[in-house]
Structure 1
Amino acid sequence: MFVELIPILLFVCACGVLLLGYPVAFSLAGTALIFACFGIITGVFDPNLLKALPDRLYGTMTNGTMIAVPLFIFMGVVLEKSRIAEDLLQNMARLCGPLPGGLGVSVILVGMLLAASTGIVGATVVTMGLMSLPTMLKQGYHPSIATGTICATGTLGQIIPPSIALVLLGDILSSANQQAQISLGIFNPTPVSVGDMFIGAIVPGLLLVAMYLVYMMGIAIIRPKWVPPANNLAPIDWPTLVKSLVPPVLLIALVLGSIIRGAATPTEAAGVGALGACLLALSRGQLNLKRLSEISQSSMKITVMVFTILVGASLFSLVFRGFGGEELIHHFFDQLPGGVLMATLLVMVVIFLLGFILDFIEITFVVVPLVAPVLLMMGVDPIWLGIMIALNLQTSFLTPPFGFALFYLRGVAPNEIKTQEIYRGVAPFIVLQLLLIGALALWPSLATWLPSQLNPVP
C-alpha cells in the first residue's frame, strides 16, 4: 500500500519544495532524484529506468518543433524593445481615444497584437502597464477598469497564436496522443501538430477579444464617467498610424498564414518571424549592436529557463512513471464516477489551482504529460484539450489573490493604486473567460472545426 502512495508523495513533496521558493527546474529534478535513490535502496524502483533519461533529453533537444520556442521568444523581444508597440498604442489612442471607452478599446487591440507577437504573459502585462496605465489614469479612467483591462489583455498571450504556451502544449499533446493511440492498439497515430493548435486557437482567441471589446463598450454606455473620452491628445496622423500598424500586422499574418496554409512548419515560420522583426526594427532605426546584444541576452535567459525546466520535468516524469504513477492515474480515472466528463473537470480544476503556484511552462511539462494520455484514451480531442488548458491557465493567472498577472501589474503600478482595485478590475474579465470556457465545453467545435476544415484527416 505504501509503494502505491509513493507517486502521490513525490508530487506533494515537489509542490512543497516549490512553495519554499526554490527554482522550479532544480526542485523537480532534486525531488525526483531523492525519491529515486530511496526507491533504489528499498528495491521498489528499477535503476535501469534512469538510463533512458539521456535519450529522452537528446530527443527533446533535437526536436524540430522545440526550436520554434527560442525563435518566437526572440521575435517577441525584438518587437518589445524596438518601441513598435509603444508607437502603435499612441496612434491607436489618438484614433479611438476621443470616444467614451476608446482608450480602453485601444489598449485591448494593441494588447492583442502585442500578445500575438510576444506570447509571454509577464512581458505583455509589464509592457502594457508601463505604456498605458499612466495615460489611462491621467485621462480619468477608473483605476479598477484601467488595471483590469491591462491584466486581461496581457494574458491573451496564452491563447492568441503564435503563443509559446501553444507551441509547448502542441508538442506535449502530440506525444501524448501517440502514446494514447498506441495503447489503444492504433499503430498509425493521427498526428497533432503545433500548427493545428494555432489554427484551433484562432476562433476562441478572437471570441475572447470580442467579448473584452463588448464589455468595454458596455461600460462606456452604463458608466461613461469611468471611461471618459481622452482629451489633450495630438490629432491623428493617418500616414503615421498606417506606418505603425501595417508592418507588425503583416508580420504576424505572414507567420500565421504560412503555418495555416502549410507553406511552412511552425519552426520555419518562427524563423521568418524573427528575421522579419529584426528587419522591421532596423527599418525604424531601433536596432543597433547594443540593442541586439540586449535582445539576444534577454532571449537567451528565457530560452534557458524553458529548457532547464524541461530537463527537470523530464527527470520528474520519468521517476513518477517508474514508481507506477501513470498506472495510478489510469486506475483513479477509471474508478471515477461520471466518466470522461468528471475526469476532464477534475483535471481542469487541478490545473487551475496549480496555476496559482506554477507557471504555464512547469504545468505543461509536468502535469500535462501525466494526465493527457489518460484523457486522450477516453476519447478527448487533443486540440480541444490544449485550447481548454490554455484558457484555463489564462483564467488562473488572472484570479486573485495569487494570479501571476496581478503580481506583474502590481510591480509596475503606482503606489496610489490599491491591490483591491486590481482585484475588482479583473473580476468581470474572469467571468468572461469562464463563459468562454463553458462555451467551449458545450461546443467543442469552436476549437476543432477550423483545423478540421484546413487540415482534414484523410
Structure 2
Amino acid sequence: MELFFLALLLILMAGALASGYPVAFALPGSAIITIGLAAGSGALFAGDMDAYFHSGGLSQWLTAGVTNLRGIYWEVERDTLIAIPLFIFMGIMLQRSKIAEDLLVAMAQLFGPVPGGLGISVVFVGALLAATTGILGATVVAMGMISLPAMLRNNYSVPLSTGTIAASGTLGQIIPPSIVLIILADQLSSATDQASSARKALHKATTGELSMPSAFDVTSTSAGEMFLGAFIPGLLLVALYMGYILVRALINPAAAPTVPFDAKVTGRYVAKLCLTLVSPLALIFLVLGSIIGGVATVNQAGAIGAAGAIIMAGYRLKEGGKNAYLPAILALVAIGMTAFALLNYDMNVKNIQTRNDQIGIWIGAIAAVLLLVSLTWSSIRTYRIQNTLSEVMLETAKTTSIVFVILLGAAMLTAAFRAFGGEELVKHFLEGLPGGFWTKFTIVMLVIFVLGFFLDYIEIAVVVVPIVAPILLADPSANITAVWLGVMIGLNIQTSFLTPPFGFALFYLRGVAPKVVKTIDMYKGVIPFIILQVAALGIVGAYPQLVNYLPTRVSLLSETAPPPRNPRLQICLEDHVHQALLNDEVAIHAALERVRGLDLSYLPNSTMNDLTVALSGIENSFNLIDNVKSAERTTETASVDYRSLHAEVRALQRRIWANEARMDQAETDIARARGDQDVIERAQTLITVMTHENADTLEQIPSEWTEEHKRFSEVLKAESKARSSYRREVDNTWDSLAELRAISLAGQAYVAVAAEFGPLIVAATTAEAEEAMSQIETLERKLRDIAGTDKIVSALGKARRALKGRKADPEKAVQQLVDAQALHQSGVAWRLRAEAELSAPLTALSDSVRLTVGLRQQPKLEKDQALALASCLSVHKNVSLNF
C-alpha cells in the first residue's frame, strides 16, 4: 500500500502545481493530505496508523518535520540561509535605484561599434548584474525595457535579441552571489551527511573493517565554496554567449549590425561613465573578493553587499542634488582608514599595550563612526526619496518569506516521500542501471532538465536534490565533490528559466516586449542559448577542475588551511614530493655531502647517532618514495583486469543487500501485523521469493572472484604499506634533523645559563624551600627553550621535587643540582663548536629538504605546494576498488 500512497503524493503535488496553486502551500499540503490519508487508512483497515508506511510511521514523519523546522530556523550551526535576504535586498535596491539601468546604457554605448557589440554588451551587463543583483526577474525586465527597443531599432534579429536578453538575465542563477547556490549548498550539506553514512556502511559491508579511512569520506560544502566553484563556470557561460553572438555577427552581419557611437565624448561624459562602471565593479570586488580572499563569510559578504547597495542608491537617487556624493565619499574615507589601520596596527582591543596600539584602535573607531554616519545618511535618503527603502524592504521580506516557506514545505514533502519508500525506490532504480555512476548521473541530469520545463528552480533544488544527491555522492566509483555536483545541478537548473513553455525568463520578457515581438520568435531565440548551456554543462562535467580548483586553492591558502599531514592530502602530496625530490636531488645530495665531510668526532655518541640516522633517512627517502610510486603503478596495472570483475560482483552484491533490506522490512511488517493473516502471508511470500532470488544471484558470482579479490587486496595492502613506511621514515627523519639543527644553533644560549647553577645549589641548602623551588623552576623554563636539554631539565625537576613537602630532602636536591650542573658543563665545549662549524651546513641541509622530506611536518603548505596540491585534488579519483 505504501506504493499507492507514494503515487498519490506525487499526483497531488503535480496536480497542485499544474493548477497554479502556490508552491509554498502545494508542497506541504500534498504531504499532509497523503500522510493523513495513510495514517487514517491504516487505523481504519489494519488497526495500526503505521501499517501503510514503508518505514517508521506517523510519529517518525512528525519527528522528521520538527527536526527539519528546527534545522532550517533555529540551528546556530546552519546559518547559510541568513545570506538569502541580504543578497535579495542588495539586488532589489540596485534595481530600484536605476543603477542597473545606467550600467546597461553605458555598456551599450561602449560596445556598440563592435560586430554584435550591442548583444555582447547585454551579455556583459547581464554578468555584472548577476554578480550584484542575482534577481532574475529584475534583470530580465530591466534589460528588456532598455536593451530590446535599442536592439530592434538598430535592426537586430528579433530571435537573437530576445534570446540574448533572456539568457543574459538568467546568469544571476549561476554567477555568484546566487540564491540558487545558497539553497543548493544548504540542501547538499545534509545530503553529504547521508552520503557519508552510506559510504561508511558500504565500506564496512565490503571490507569487514569497522572504520573507513577519512581519505575516502564524503566532504560537505558551503555557500562560500559553491560561490567559488561556480565562478569559473559562470565566466565560461558568459564567454560562450559572447562567442556565439560574435560568430553570428561575423557570419550574418545583418542579424547583429554594428551601432555607431553618436555621443559626444567630454570630460563630464567620461566621469559619469567611469562612475557608472566603477561603482558596481567595486561592489562586486567587495562582495566576491571578500569571500574569495577568505576575509568574510558568505553572510558577512551579504551584509557588505546590502550596505554597499544602500550607499550607492543614496547618491544615485539624489543625482544632481546638493551633497549627493558626500555619504559615499565618507564611506570611501572610512574604508581607507580601516585598511590603513589593519595594515599598520595591531587591532586587538583586548591586547592594547602601547600608545601605538591605542592610536590604531582610535583610527579604527573613527572609521567605524564615519561608515555608520554614511550608512545612516544614505538610509535616510533612500527612505525619503520615492519611499525606496520601505518598498525594497517589503519586497525583500516577501521574497525571503516565499523562499523559506518553500524550503520548509519541501522538507515536509521529502520526509513524506521517504516515509512511503520513495527514496529507497529511487536508490534501487538508479543502482540497478548498467554503466555505473555516469549512467545514474546522466539520468538524474535528464530528469532535472525535463523538470525545468515545468518547475521553478527552488522546487527542483529542494525536492529533487535531497533525494538524488546522497545516492550520487555516496558512489565511490566517481568520488565526486559536493561542490561539483551542486554547480552541475545549478547549471542544469538554469535552463529551467529558458525552456518553453514555462520558462520564467520568457514570461518576464514577454511582459515588457513590444507587440511586434512574437512569442515564437522568443522560443526560437532561446534555443541556441539552451544548447550553449548544455555545452557548458558538458565541459564542466568533463573538466571538474573548472569547479573544484578555486575552492580547493582558497582552502589550502587560507589561515585555517588543513595541515600537510591531513589524510585527504597525502596521495597528492606524495605525487608532488616525488617530483620535487627528482628536481632537487643534486642539491640535496650536495648538502648531505657537505655535512658528512665535516669533522664530527667531538659530538657525543648519542648526538652522532641521531645525526647518522637523520642523514640516512634523507638518503633513504628517495628509495621509499620510489617504492610508493612503484606500488602505485603495480596497483594501476592490476586494476585494469580486476575493475570489471569488481564492478560485476559488487552490482550482484548490492542486489543481494537490497533484497535483504526488503526481507528485514517484511519481518517488521509481520511483527506489526497483529494477527492480520493477509499481511503476514504477503510478507512471508516476499521473504521466500527474496531468499530464492538471493540464492540465484550468489550463483552468478564468478568462481574466480574469491581468488582475484584476495590477490588484489594484497596489492592494495602492499601499496598502503609502502606509503606508511615512507610517511613514518620522513616524519622521524625531519624530527631528528630539526632537533639537531636547533641544538647546533643554541650554543650561546646554552652557555648563558651556566652561571645559574651555583646559586641554585646554595639556595637549596640556605633558602626557604618555596623560594629555592621557584628559582629551580625558572631555570627549568629557560632550559626547555633550549634544544637537547631534556636530561638536565629532568635532573632539575628531581631536585625541585626533593624540596617539596614534609619529607623534603635538601641533600638529595643538592646532589641532583650538582648532577645537572655536571651534565650542563659536559656539553658546553661541543655545543659551542657545533654552533660554529655545524649550524650552517645543517641549516642548509634543512632548508634543502624542508618542502620535501619535511613537508608533512610543516604547520601549513606554502603557496607553490598549495597550488600543486589544489591542481591534483581538483580531479575526481575513482576509489571504488577500495570498497
Q: TM-score range by the shorter chain?
A: over 0.9
Distance 1:233 1:319 in 2: 62
Change (3 A) 1:232 1:263: closer
Distance 1:335 1:189 in 2: 22
- Of 457, 461, 471 in structure 2, the residue corresponding to residue 364 of structure 1 is 461
1:24-46 deviation digits (Å, cap 9, x = unpaired): 12111111111111221213231
Change (3 A) 1:8 1:347: farther
Paired position in structure 2 for 1:259:
291
1:91-130 deviation digits (Å, cap 9, x = unpaired): 1122121333221111111111111222122222122111
Q: Give, in angstroms, the shift of residue 171 of structure 1.
A: 1.2
SS at match of 1:140: coil
Distance 1:423 1:20 in 2: 23
Q: How does 1:209-288 map to 2 (within 5 A)?
A: 209-231=238-260, 233-236=262-265, 237-285=269-317, 287-288=382-383
SS at match of 1:119: coil
Q: Conserved in 2, the CA contact under 8 Å of 1:4 and 1:328?
A: no
Paired position in structure 2 for 1:18:
17
Q: Conserved in 1, the CA contact under 8 Å of 2:109 and 2:261?
A: no
Read off the aligned partner of 2:133 and give its amino acid letter: T
Q: Give, in angstroms, the shift of residue 194 of structure 1.
A: 0.9
Distance 1:342 1:34 in 2: 35
Q: Conserved in 2, the CA contact under 8 Å of 1:173 and 1:369?
A: yes
Read off the aligned partner of 1:349 and give its amino acid letter: L
Paired position in structure 1 for 2:71:
59
- Of 367, 379, 389 in structure 2, the residue corresponding to residue 292 of structure 1 is 389
Greater shift, 366-375 or 286-295, is seen at 286-295
Distance 2:219 2:492 in 1: 25
1:398-456 deviation digits (Å, cap 9, x = unpaired): 12333221122112111111111111211221221111111122222221122222224
Distance 1:95 1:126 in 2: 22
Read off the aligned partner of 2:524 and give its amino acid letter: R
Greater shift, 57-66 or 103-112, is seen at 57-66
Greater shift, 44-53 or 110-119, is seen at 44-53
Q: How does 1:14-163 map to 2 (within 5 A)?
A: 14-41=13-40, 42=42, 43-45=51-53, 46-49=57-60, 50-62=62-74, 63-163=78-178
Distance 2:411 2:11 in 1: 17
Read off the aligned partner of 2:292 and give its amino acid letter: I
Read off the aligned partner of 2:221 and give its amino acid letter: V
Paired position in structure 2 for 1:339:
436
SS at match of 1:184: helix
Read off the aligned partner of 2:65 and give its amino acid letter: L
Paired position in structure 2 for 1:451:
551
Greater shift, 251-260 or 3-12, is seen at 3-12
Read off the aligned partner of 1:155 and give its amino acid letter: T
Distance 2:73 2:406 in 1: 13
Paired position in structure 1 for 2:871:
none
Q: How does 1:303-314 map to 2 (within 5 A)?
A: 303-314=400-411
Read off the aligned partner of 1:331 and give its amino acid letter: H
Read off the aligned partner of 1:35 and give its amino acid letter: T
Distance 1:441 1:421 in 2: 31
Q: Give, in angstroms, the shift of residue 211 of structure 1.
A: 1.2
Paired position in structure 2 for 1:353:
450
1:161-187 deviation digits (Å, cap 9, x = unpaired): 111101111111121112211232369
Unaligned 5+ runs, structure 2: 43-50, 201-211, 319-381, 557-561, 567-883
Greater shift, 108-117 or 70-79, is seen at 108-117
Q: Conserved in 1, the CA contact under 8 Å of 2:162 and 2:522?
A: yes
Greater shift, 282-291 or 82-91, is seen at 282-291
Distance 1:418 1:229 in 2: 24
Read off the aligned partner of 2:422 and give its amino acid letter: G
- Of 503, 522, 532 in structure 2, the residue corresponding to residue 432 of structure 1 is 532
- Of 196, 201, 206 in structure 1, the residue corresponding to residue 225 of structure 2 is 196
1:355-386 deviation digits (Å, cap 9, x = unpaired): 12211111111111111111111133211111
- Of 497, 510, 514 in structure 2, the residue corresponding to residue 414 of structure 1 is 514
Q: Give, in angstroms, the shift of residue 20 of structure 1.
A: 1.3
Q: Give, in angstroms, the shift of residue 265 of structure 1.
A: 1.1
Read off the aligned partner of 1:74 and give its amino acid letter: F
1:49-79 deviation digits (Å, cap 9, x = unpaired): 2133223212201331101001000010011
Q: Does residue 323 of the first structure (1) align with residue 420 of the second (2)?
A: yes
Q: Give, in angstroms, the shift of residue 293 of structure 1.
A: 0.8
Paired position in structure 2 for 1:377:
474
Q: Give, in angstroms, the shift of residue 232 of structure 1.
A: 7.0
Q: Give, in angstroms, the shift of residue 134 of structure 1.
A: 1.1
Distance 1:360 1:431 in 2: 19
Q: Give, in angstroms, the shift of residue 348 of structure 1.
A: 0.8
Distance 2:285 2:546 in 1: 21
Q: Conserved in 1, the CA contact under 8 Å of 2:456 and 2:496?
A: no
Distance 2:28 2:287 in 1: 35
Q: Conserved in 2, the CA contact under 8 Å of 1:101 and 1:227?
A: yes
SS at match of 2:464: helix
Aligned residues: 457
Read off the aligned partner of 1:436 and give its amino acid letter: A
SS at match of 2:171: helix
Q: Give, in angstroms, the shift of residue 317 of structure 1.
A: 0.9
Unaligned 5+ runs, structure 1: none
Among the aligned pairs, what percent are the same residue? Answer: 50
Q: Conserved in 2, the CA contact under 8 Å of 1:356 and 1:404?
A: no
Q: Conserved in 2, the CA contact under 8 Å of 1:139 and 1:231?
A: no
Q: Give, in angstroms, the shift of residue 224 of structure 1.
A: 1.3
Distance 2:286 2:180 in 1: 20
SS at match of 1:57: helix
Greater shift, 287-296 or 273-282, is seen at 287-296
**Greater relative contact order (Cα < 8 A, sep 6+):** 1
Change (3 A) 1:5 1:262: farther
Read off the aligned partner of 1:328 and give its amino acid letter: L
Paired position in structure 2 for 1:401:
501
- Of 471, 487, 510 in structure 2, the residue corresponding to residue 387 of structure 1 is 487
Distance 1:184 1:108 in 2: 42
Q: Give, in angstroms, the shift of residue 231 of structure 1.
A: 4.2
Greater shift, 279-288 or 430-439, is seen at 279-288
Q: Conserved in 1, the CA contact under 8 Å of 2:112 and 2:261?
A: no
Paired position in structure 1 for 2:855:
none
Distance 1:404 1:372 in 2: 25
